[in-house]
Amino acid sequence: MEKKRKSIQIDKSKFDRQELIAVLDKLKPALATKAIVEQTTHYLFMKDRIATYNDEMCCAEKYPIGFSGSVKAEEFYKLLSKSSAKKVDLDLQEGQVKVRVGSSSFGLAYMEEGEAHKKVSSLGHDELKWRPLPEDLKNGLILCSFSASKDMTRPALTGVYVSGDNVLSSDNYRISWYRLHDELRRKFLLPASSVVHLVNYDVNEYCLTDSWMHFREGDFVFSARLLSEEFPEKAKEFFPEEVGECFELPQEMGNTLDKALVLLQDDFLLDKEVSITFSQNEVVCDVKKKDVGWLTEKTEMEAGPKEDVSIKVNPIFLKEILKKTTKLSVISEDKILFTSDNFKHLIAL
């Protein structure tokens, strides 16, 4: 005989729709694209907070949702977003989350607390000992994330490494090195695929545990699992003490890169790439996106390199570099170097 499903009921709760959507938006980075582990594609309701968890990242924000369980994230978010009503009524009953928003009502299958809830709880966000986030650590992590490898056969190179006042990353073709104003006591290796999400949050506190790094912004916590591999810190030795021919990049390149990003807007942040060729009199930017289009734009240069130099680079990363420096140096026939006061980026041609 089939076991009758337990009916769970709560008092109806009314929430501000825009406020709830804003919370759900902040939690998206830790949603899995495929449900290899149950509930990793769900919004996790945990009475006093809502969370997402995919084994590599966790996002959680305190919110008085009032019950525990989960619903599929994509459907829940899209149906809430389609309404223009100000208030949302939630009612949990008969295995469903029943939602009334404006003149519309819908129900979504509800799952009780599972392994994902336990994983989030085990992070102990409320018991962590928080420290002020060093002023330039977030910036250093994000800048260096663009040089990390995507090759999972060498996991150490897929992360951004922090040791003392050094922030380093490399994929064996590029090396980025950022010098922090202050030294950190502990070394750690943070996945670049997690670091890139920090740009969306105004985090101001952090906490390091044995396996995770946590960042906090008010009632919101972003957690990323640390890599356990050893990063090759000797990568710093590849930076030359002396540089060769130097030239200045035109500031107008920023507008060109903005146009390139229009074609690349659907790509994941670390996957965006343009081809740049520097010559004596001009810079040529090329971008092609299959099934979307292409762009070629030339910008005049006053004094470029004697011989053409071509690189492939992330346009968002190059825009960030242009904010700090327009100086580019040719080290040898196979290397070029971007430099600013506390940041260096070396590219093998």
Q: What does the domain layout of the chain look like in residue ranges?
A: 13-122, 132-199+208-231, 246-348
Answer for the pair 154, 148: CB distance below 8 angstroms, yes or no: no
pLDDT per residue, tens digit, the chain (349 aa), is 333 334 334 445 789 999 999 999 999 999 998 767 779 999 999 999 999 999 999 999 999 999 899 999 999 999 999 888 899 998 887 788 999 988 888 999 999 999 999 999 999 999 999 999 998 999 999 999 999 999 999 999 999 999 999 999 999 889 999 999 999 999 999 999 999 999 999 999 999 999 999 999 999 999 999 999 999 988 888 887 767 678 888 888 889 999 999 999 888 888 899 999 988 889 999 999 988 999 999 988 887 788 888 888 889 888 887 877 777 787 766 788 888 878 988 888 6
DSSP helix/strand/coil, 191: strand
Q: 9 near 92, Cβ under 8 Å?
A: yes
Q: What is the pTM of this model?
A: 0.84
Domain spanning 246-348: which superfamily?
DNA Polymerase III, subunit A, domain 2 (3.10.150.10)
Rounded to 5 degrees, φ, ψ at 147 are -100, 0
Name the pairing type of β-strands 327-332 and 57-62.
Answer: unpaired
How is residue 109 written in tokens?
């299958």
Structure tokens at 274: 């343009």
CATH superfamily of 132-199+208-231: DNA Polymerase III, subunit A, domain 2 (3.10.150.10)
Which CATH superfamily is 13-122 part of? DNA Polymerase III, subunit A, domain 2 (3.10.150.10)
